[in-house]
Structure 1
């Protein structure tokens, strides 16, 4: 089957319901991203779609030649009529980037620029040109960092961009099963020129060192590819069992999402279900489910900690423990001792932690931007007094004396039920609002951060 047909089938599978009216492409100018752009353009033409394609190039300004490459990229795009929607953004990096994990910070800054450009055009989906060789590099790097079997599954065909905005992009990687030499051949066959970043082959990053090693040792690379496919198959088996368990719990109302305003989820599992499933399946279930309510900045690297604590859920009786900056309360159901109720909530906030409040800048008109608080809640305030200064922080036990007036106290208020929930306070420290408990959408909107994981 030709690369074009494989690509077409992949796109149709990803967008099963309908192809979006607008799609962005992360275009570095390299062979992979140019092949991606050409494949997508042909797909849209062959399927007679009215989808608009927006190539996006981010100039990091880290190489002398990078600025000069932009017009070269534009000229090449004009060959297949994609230059009209070409978008670009220039980044700059202050001195502190020299002392921090540069690659990760640069990645976040790049995603922020891409996200801003996509939002300005009403784009929700971006395609990226990561291919199978990239995947094997990532697999090797994760092996070197002692990743567990879940982490070794590496990049996914569909994922979410980092939550740098209340609207996260869908990141599509349709070339993950395609080898780089196939993309090189495709570009040569279609008379497509690309930009070669020679720093990709200099031993200046760990990934570059791995890339060069794999090029020089094809037998090792072949073995790694075989092992990666075994890991992929194993993860597919685990994910299938997790999805079946999750869907069954959803169908029978065993996952209680009614207390999300307080960042709390309750799961009811029978002892039989706990016995039937391995620690890996149970850990994966909770790990995928709890991401939106965890404030942990290191969540993605914490799966093994969840796996290590599943034994506590299997123990008879009650137990409480903290994990992922969440409090886990496990106890037998009062109505049925053969069933366990597992309530997971935002871990208690100390007075010191509460000082890490979020300043609310009130522009003219009183409507704020969307603000991420506690790495859990996105908040947007709409009718704030511009003459006051506000902060958002977590509710504390001592706050019972800090209400600005009794009208804003919820009728069912008990501290034990509202602890750690966000509160809006004025410059005197008086509580003005419970944003996540307000039913007045004319005053405030809120939502949890998007789940980085999905169930099928």
Structure 2
């Protein structure tokens, strides 16, 4: 059996989980498509279990996209192969029809939702994926095509946050084969006598952009200009990685100092963030690191649904690889503009309101939920509360997970979460709270979530409380309704 790939695999794991793998999780999931990459990955993880980590629990998860007629049968055949291994196999079906337009994007989103649910169910905090060096090249070209920043062009990392937030699990994606070529993986599979299944849709160039680049990279010398051949792309990736490592180091130093000085504080009641960047930290060498730190930190208070693709709103001056035609000539760095007085003391960005004070000492910021575009309105989330039956986790306003329960049958009913607005809620606020003036300013300034019970049989709607403030209406008995809350985690 070929040992070169397995040796690289083990070396990669020691870089991720420490030399003796003492940080390796006890329970993991593997995204198992049945292709050569994922079958090789599973085989090596089983070898690792047998040789070093006998108590490791491995859950292999196969998602049947139902795009091809033979996909269900293939998923079962994958299961037959896995049944001979010390692995638990799960087959998940996508029953929603996936059209040819945006095939890759839609299939990926549905697949990732199912994978997250499976990981939550089995308690796996890490999901292993078989992406390799060729996938990196394809991703780099795709992101180049989309004018990605130098952070996006970094492509995939050995360990990254799962792209869907969850209140139950801080799920990580582990990719231990990113420095291994596809040809090496195929040789490993053949040497090990592994069976794998080819998805013919992966080789139709016109189906997805990734497929198109995959077809080009197979014969790159004849089809691609010299600047986009494999060796040049790998060189560009190395330079991008070098840039990112420098920024990561600076961000780590920023984080340590701010934590030591208590200058990065989140208030869970108002879901607002307070930051102070000292003057000696601000300057040309640190602008992009400060911009990136701010972007990753303020994610937890932003209501933007498209947040991961909006970094250029914070920095398109120091982070861009290819000049992007945006209709305006000037590129900008948010921290640089604040420091140089080019930003007002109050402004909105990424659905966040910034209140900024600039002085010789540094930049002080309070960041909270911005007012919503009146044409769209704030998020409204209806749901039911039943006595003795906790609700599912509810994700509200792209910021907050909430779970409600009640023991009083009289509290059962139809509810909804909204963002408090004077024009809409003031009259019913007065009916629910005799002393509301003491906290009313908070409601308007921070756009606090309000829990409303919908009127029934001619009754009016009623404000039950403000969960994040731990304030409930005068006639709501203590403990009669309970709310658990979790904010999104910062991306740092």
Once the two structures are superposed, residues 288-342 of structure 1 have per-residue CA deviations (whole angstroms, 9 ceiling, x without a partner) of 1111111111111111110133333112495222111111121136xxx423211
Match status 1:210 vs 2:213 = yes
Q: 1:263 aligns with which of 244, 267, 271?
A: 271
User: Counterparts of 1:265-280 in structure 2 under 5 Å?
Assistant: 265-275=273-283, 277-280=285-288
Secondary structure of the 1:389 match is strand
Greater mean alpha carbon deviation, residues 108-117 or residues 381-390: 381-390
> What residue number does 2:52 align with?
47
Relative to structure 1, the CA distance from residue 357 to residue 205 in structure 2 (aligned partners, 3 Å threshold; closer, same or farther) is: same
- C-alpha distance in 2, partners of 1:386/1:184? 60
Match status 1:438 vs 2:470 = yes
Contact 1:76 1:192 in 2 (8 A): no
Secondary structure of the 1:146 match is coil
> What residue number does 2:328 align with?
none
Contact 2:132 2:182 in 1 (8 A): yes
> What residue number does 1:329 align with?
355
Instruction: Give the structure-1-normalised TM-score.
Output: 0.90
> What residue number does 2:145 align with?
144
> What residue number does 2:489 align with?
450
Relative to structure 1, the CA distance from residue 320 to residue 414 in structure 2 (aligned partners, 3 Å threshold; closer, same or farther) is: closer
Contact 1:130 1:176 in 2 (8 A): yes
Contact 1:351 1:396 in 2 (8 A): no
Secondary structure of the 2:248 match is helix
> What residue number does 1:133 align with?
134
- C-alpha distance in 1, partners of 2:420/2:173? 36
Relative to structure 1, the CA distance from residue 206 to residue 48 in structure 2 (aligned partners, 3 Å threshold; closer, same or farther) is: closer
> What residue number does 1:21 align with?
26
> What residue number does 1:158 align with?
159
Secondary structure of the 1:414 match is helix
The Cα shift of 1:10 comes to 2.5
Once the two structures are superposed, residues 327-376 of structure 1 have per-residue CA deviations (whole angstroms, 9 ceiling, x without a partner) of 1121136xxx4232111111123666545300122245242110000000
Greater mean alpha carbon deviation, residues 420-429 or residues 354-363: 354-363
The Cα shift of 1:417 comes to 6.8
Contact 1:269 1:340 in 2 (8 A): yes
- C-alpha distance in 2, partners of 1:45/1:450? 35
Relative to structure 1, the CA distance from residue 140 to residue 250 in structure 2 (aligned partners, 3 Å threshold; closer, same or farther) is: same
The Cα shift of 1:194 comes to 0.8
> What residue number does 2:390 align with?
367
Match status 1:396 vs 2:421 = yes
The Cα shift of 1:406 comes to 2.1
Higher normalized helix content (fraction of residues): 1
Secondary structure of the 2:41 match is helix
The Cα shift of 1:185 comes to 1.2
- C-alpha distance in 2, partners of 1:280/1:158? 22
Q: 2:192 aligns with which of 183, 190, 193?
A: 190
The Cα shift of 1:413 comes to 4.6
The Cα shift of 1:3 comes to 2.4
- C-alpha distance in 2, partners of 1:137/1:93? 27
Contact 2:384 2:412 in 1 (8 A): no
Secondary structure of the 1:74 match is helix
Once the two structures are superposed, residues 194-227 of structure 1 have per-residue CA deviations (whole angstroms, 9 ceiling, x without a partner) of 1011221111111100110111114612211111
Relative to structure 1, the CA distance from residue 165 to residue 146 in structure 2 (aligned partners, 3 Å threshold; closer, same or farther) is: same
User: Counterparts of 1:101-112 in structure 2 under 5 Å?
Assistant: 101-112=102-113
Secondary structure of the 2:173 match is strand
The Cα shift of 1:71 comes to 2.9
Match status 1:419 vs 2:446 = yes
> What residue number does 1:231 align with?
240
Greater mean alpha carbon deviation, residues 128-137 or residues 279-288: 279-288
Q: 2:259 aligns with which of 250, 253, 269?
A: 250
The Cα shift of 1:242 comes to 1.4
- C-alpha distance in 2, partners of 1:117/1:438? 33
The Cα shift of 1:189 comes to 1.2
The Cα shift of 1:90 comes to 1.1
- C-alpha distance in 2, partners of 1:347/1:418? 9
- C-alpha distance in 2, partners of 1:434/1:264? 15
Relative to structure 1, the CA distance from residue 144 to residue 355 in structure 2 (aligned partners, 3 Å threshold; closer, same or farther) is: closer
- C-alpha distance in 2, partners of 1:104/1:48? 36
Structure 1 residue runs of 5 or longer lacking an equivalent are: none
Match status 1:291 vs 2:316 = no
Secondary structure of the 2:413 match is coil
Relative to structure 1, the CA distance from residue 409 to residue 131 in structure 2 (aligned partners, 3 Å threshold; closer, same or farther) is: farther
Instruction: Give the structure-2-normalised TM-score.
Output: 0.84
- C-alpha distance in 1, partners of 2:283/2:235? 33
Contact 2:354 2:365 in 1 (8 A): yes
